[in-house]
């Protein structure tokens, strides 16, 4: 199946089973804004818990905060967002669609990479065991030609970004003959800068209202509270502050479901270190964060690092963790070495000292910062995409199953009475009542057992039990496992033990 079709299926699956709805749907929707439904919110909460616990529970030198969305407007001046939080936009005059100029070029580069990989794959098949990939990449004329083209465009692109040279970005688009995917034409406008922050007013106009911004990232709430937390928590460097919260960006192009939203959620952690030690910590956090992703068991090949071509104004090292979405490898998390830019800048704009006295060095300094920043919604999309599976069964039927890691699954256990009479519903409720304090259970008595299994598979429930007449006699149920579809008879009082560890966050956290 084409990857585009897989993506469409995932989007409609998310709607059909109560994971994600278009915002304001009955009013024809609001572009790039989404609501999470009854299943989505559970999965989202589990993702957040996995992140939060991995930061705050597992590291005694990382603490959390929850800062307000509104902040003093000068914060955004100090952070550089008022002047520099821009994307380069370009319009196609025929389709009237707007694009990010940098993304058009990145997609073009990714296509060349794909071509090279296909060439390598073809050769690997042809030559079998004797294939020497490194040698092939170094000598095959078609690979070399594509690589040279890629490197040339890449060098121009990186320079244009670093110089904020909008004209050159347009020249690259023209020279590479990049066409609008909708109109198929090359009728492009100039490239312009567009600020992504939403602004609103605080206070009544009579008082002289103040222009405030909806925060475009949660990080600044951490920086401006750095000393509050350090002092009241008696924190010693190195230490981190974690936060989960909403962020808002007026994205130019927002066509990929919850991948790029105008209102989204971030999980950010700023780790404060001694100046000069930041690159060591950068390497450490890169490692820790990649392990966190891979521990979910979707396969290591789905992840890769992508180092930035253009370092943001505040960074001296930066990388993205990319995940293989149905529409290609895309950024899910950014890891940045932010130097002392933010704290230094807030010192300057606020006139307040934001320094740390290091008792071991017996001196004060402005700490350096390593940031790990991940979007909850992108993590959600990557999880659902990796988990979404269509299987053909022995009887020829197909089943759609979300193979979610059990600790992330919205519902851990489905409980089904075989029939709606003879005391079986009551017995099923009893089972739920005995387990509901440990994990989320769902009662379902509608349709055949087979259909109930299908519905549970579709929302990723790892375990289901059926209560039948034998249950009333010997207190046993049939447990059915989502991935293998195997069934076995077990005692009700063994259920907590069989399921408990597997669905708890503890197991996942211990594997880190
Ligand atoms: P992109 O290049 O895709 O616009 P970014 O580099 O601007 O992303 P960061 O500023 O590093 O993103 O934000 C950190 C994380 O927040 C990203 O890795 C992503 O997971 C998430 N994120 C950023 N923008 C959005 C958005 N519009 N919708 C959903 N998640 C987002």
pLDDT tens-digit readout, 332-365: 999 999 999 999 999 999 999 999 999 999 999 9
Mean pLDDT of the chain: 94
* Alpha carbon distance 331, 87 (integer Å): 16
Residue 179: pLDDT above 70?
Answer: yes
Q: Is 462 helix (H, G, I), strand (E, B) or coil?
A: coil
Residue 242: pLDDT above 90?
Answer: yes
88 sits in which H/E element: strand 86-91
Interval between CA 177 and ligand 1 midpoint (Å): 28
- Structure confidence by residue, pLDDT tens digits, 382-436: 999 999 999 998 888 899 999 999 999 999 999 999 999 999 999 999 999 999 9
Interval between CA 265 and ligand 1 midpoint (Å): 10
Residue 322 near ligand 1, beta carbon < 6 Å: no
Residue nearest to atom 9 of ligand 1 (CA): 334
Taking each helix axis from N to C end, the angle separating 141-162 and 166-175, rounded to the nearest 10 degrees, works out to 160
Q: Which pLDDT value is given to residue 162? A: 83
Could you tell which of 254, 314, 375 is best to mutate to test the pocket of ligand 1, judged by most ligand atoms within 8 Å of the CB?
375
Residue 333 near ligand 1, beta carbon < 6 Å: yes
Residue 251 near ligand 1, beta carbon < 6 Å: yes
Q: Which pLDDT value is given to residue 129? A: 86
Q: Which pLDDT value is given to residue 413? A: 98
- Residue 256 token pair: 């990929």
Residue nearest to atom 2 of ligand 1 (CA): 331
- Residue 268 token pair: 């950010």
Q: Which pLDDT value is given to residue 346? A: 97
Q: Which pLDDT value is given to residue 484? A: 95
Q: Which pLDDT value is given to residue 3? A: 75
Residue 377 near ligand 1, beta carbon < 6 Å: yes
Residue 372 near ligand 1, beta carbon < 6 Å: no
Average pLDDT over residues 135-155: 93
Interval between CA 401 and ligand 1 midpoint (Å): 29
Atom of ligand 1 nearest to the CA of 261: 28
Atom of ligand 1 nearest to the CA of 320: 18
Q: Which pLDDT value is given to residue 1? A: 67
Residue 373 near ligand 1, beta carbon < 6 Å: yes
Residue 115: pLDDT above 80?
Answer: yes
Residue 207 pLDDT grade (very low, low, confident, very high; cuts 50, 70, 90):
low
Q: Which pLDDT value is given to residue 206? A: 63
* Alpha carbon distance 460, 388 (integer Å): 9
Average pLDDT over residues 1-28: 93
Average pLDDT over residues 71-83: 94
Residue 164: pLDDT above 90?
Answer: no
| Of the candidates 491, 399, 480, 408, the residue with the CA atom closest to the CA atom of residue 444 | 480
Q: Which pLDDT value is given to residue 315? A: 85
Residue 334 near ligand 1, beta carbon < 6 Å: yes
Interval between CA 375 and ligand 1 midpoint (Å): 6
Residue 266: pLDDT above 80?
Answer: yes
Atom of ligand 1 nearest to the CA of 336: 11
Chain center to CA of 415: 31
Residue 374 near ligand 1, beta carbon < 6 Å: yes
- Residue 155 token pair: 């060098």
Q: Which residues contact 395 (CB under 8 A, 6 or more apart)?
A: none
| Of the candidates 273, 322, 267, the residue with the CA atom closest to the CA atom of residue 300 | 322
Strands (E), 302-461: 303-307, 317-325, 328-339, 356-358, 363-365, 368-375, 388-392, 398-402, 413-417, 441-443
Domains of the chain by range and CATH? 1-70+209-342+352-392 (3.30.930.10), 86-195 (3.30.40.230), 394-510 (3.40.50.800)
Residue 219: pLDDT above 80?
Answer: yes
Percent of the chain with pLDDT over 90: 88
Q: Which pLDDT value is given to residue 460? A: 98
CB 178 within 8 A of CB 104: yes
Residue 508 pLDDT grade (very low, low, confident, very high; cuts 50, 70, 90):
very high
- Residue 348 token pair: 């300057």
Residue 269 near ligand 1, beta carbon < 6 Å: no
Strands (E), 219-339: 239-248, 263-273, 303-307, 317-325, 328-339
Interval between CA 332 and ligand 1 midpoint (Å): 7
């Amino acid at each position: 199946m084409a990857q585009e079709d897989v993506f469409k299926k995932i989007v409609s699956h998310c709607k059909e089973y109560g994971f994600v709805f278009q915002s304001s749907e009955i009013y024809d929707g609001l572009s790039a804004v989404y609501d999470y439904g009854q299943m989505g919110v559970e999965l989202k909460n589990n993702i957040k818990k996995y992140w939060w616990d991995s930061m705050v529970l597992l590291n005694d030198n990382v603490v959390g905060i929850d800062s307000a969305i509104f902040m003093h407007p000068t914060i955004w001046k100090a952070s550089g967002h008022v002047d520099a939080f821009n994307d380069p936009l370009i319009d196609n005059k025929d389709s009237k669609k707007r694009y990010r100029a940098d993304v058009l070029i990145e997609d073009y580069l990714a296509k060349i990479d794909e071509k090279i990989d296909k060439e390598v794959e073809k050769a690997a098949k042809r030559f079998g065991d004797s294939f020497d990939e490194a040698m092939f990449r170094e000598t095959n004329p078609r690979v070399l030609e594509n690589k040279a083209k890629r490197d040339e465009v890449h060098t121009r692109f990186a320079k244009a970004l670093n110089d904020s040279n909008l004209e050159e970005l347009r020249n690259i688009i023209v020279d590479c003959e990049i066409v609008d995917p909708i109109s198929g034409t090359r009728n492009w406008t100039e490239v312009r800068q567009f600020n992504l922050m939403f602004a609103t007013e605080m206070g009544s106009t009579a008082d002289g209202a103040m222009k405030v911004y909806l925060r475009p990232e949660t990080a600044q709430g951490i920086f401006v509270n750095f000393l509050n937390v350090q002092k009241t928590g008696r924190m010693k460097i190195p230490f981190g502050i974690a936060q989960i919260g909403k962020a808002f960006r007026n994205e130019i192009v927002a066509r990929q479901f919850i991948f790029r939203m105008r209102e989204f959620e971030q999980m950010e952690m700023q780790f404060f270190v001694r100046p000069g030690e930041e690159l060591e910590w950068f390497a450490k956090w890169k490692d820790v964060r990649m392990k966190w992703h891979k521990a979910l068991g979707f396969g290591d090949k789905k992840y890769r690092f992508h180092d930035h071509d253009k370092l943001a104004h505040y960074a001296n090292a930066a990388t993205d963790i990319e995940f293989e979405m149905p529409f290609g490898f895309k950024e899910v998390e950014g890891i940045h070495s932010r130097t002392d830019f933010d704290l230094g800048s807030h010192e300057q704009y606020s006139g307040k000292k934001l320094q740390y006295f290091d008792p071991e060095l017996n001196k004060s300094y402005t700490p350096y910062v390593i940031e790990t920043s991940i979007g909850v919604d992108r993590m959600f999309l990557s999880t659902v995409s990796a988990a979404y599976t269509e299987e053909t069964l022995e009887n020829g039927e197909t089943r759609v199953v979300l193979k979610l890691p059990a600790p992330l699954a919205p519902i851990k256990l489905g409980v089904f009475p075989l029939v709606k009479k003879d005391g079986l519903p009551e017995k099923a409720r009893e089972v739920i009542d005995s387990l509901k304090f440990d994990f989320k259970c769902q009662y379902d008595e509608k349709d055949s057992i087979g259909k109930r299994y299908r519905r549970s598979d579709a929302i990723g429930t790892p375990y289901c039990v059926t209560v039948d007449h034998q249950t009333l006699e010997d207190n046993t149920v049939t447990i059915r496992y989502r991935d293998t579809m195997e069934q076995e008879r077990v005692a009700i009082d063994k259920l907590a033990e069989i399921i408990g560890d597997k669905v708890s966050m503890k197991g996942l956290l211990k594997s880190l």
